[in-house]
Structure formats: structure tokens, C-alpha cells
Amino acid sequence: MRTVRWVAALGDLGVPGVFSSTCKDGECCADFRVDLAGPLPQGLAATALYSHSDGIVDWRACMDPHAHGVAVESSHCGMSINVNVYRVLDRALEARK
């Protein structure tokens, strides 16, 4: 969260194209916050991959009540090349056919 606050501070200072702290509570993002907290549209499924050994993102931050959560053993950066991640994604995509 510290990094997010630092980036938001840049937006507060007027850096173009950077979100500001008003995005958290401001009117500009009201619809986004409602959509983010709500369920996915009927027929649309989601899979949330997470790792207890991520080292950067706490696995609990990846838990979405509207998604099927799947734990994988991986580092944060390693997820992009982890064969088990791609196996989970393959199964999720196959299930949608």
C-alpha cells in the first residue's frame, strides 16, 4: 500500500496520467468501485491464482469471493513462467468452452 500511496501522491501533485488519492473516494471512480465490489456478470467466470510464498503480494489480497481461487507454489515474478500456473489457466479456459 505504501507504493500505491506514493504513486497517488504524484497524481495529487498533478503528474499527468497518474491516479490521485481522490480515486479512492472521489466521484470519478464511483462506478469502478461498485463494479469492483460486485459479482461478475452472469456466465462470466474468473480464476484467481495466488501463492503463499509470493514474497511481494500477500496471498490474502488475491482472494476474490467471486472467483475460483487456486494456490500455486511460486515466487511473485516466477508466476509468469511457472508451468503450474499455465496448467491452471489451461484448465480454466477449457472449462469455459
> pLDDT (tens digit, 9 = 90+) per residue, 70-83?
999 999 999 999 99
pLDDT at res. 1: 72
State the amino acid at position 55 in one-letter form.
G
Report the distance separating Cα 47 and Cα 69, nearest Å. 6
Average pLDDT of the residues in 69-96: 95
In this prediction, residue 61 carries a pLDDT of 92
Residue 90 in this model has a pLDDT that exceeds 80:
yes
What's phi and psi for 2, nearest 5 deg?
-60, -45
The SS3 call for residue 38 is coil
3-state secondary structure of 51: coil
* Confidence at residue 96, expressed as pLDDT on a 0 to 100 scale: 82
List, for residues 6-61, the tens digit of each pLDDT value. 888 999 999 998 888 887 777 878 888 888 888 888 888 899 999 999 999 999 99
Closest CA to 88 of 58, 64, 68, 60: 68
pTM: 0.65
Contact 69, 45 (CB under 8 A): no
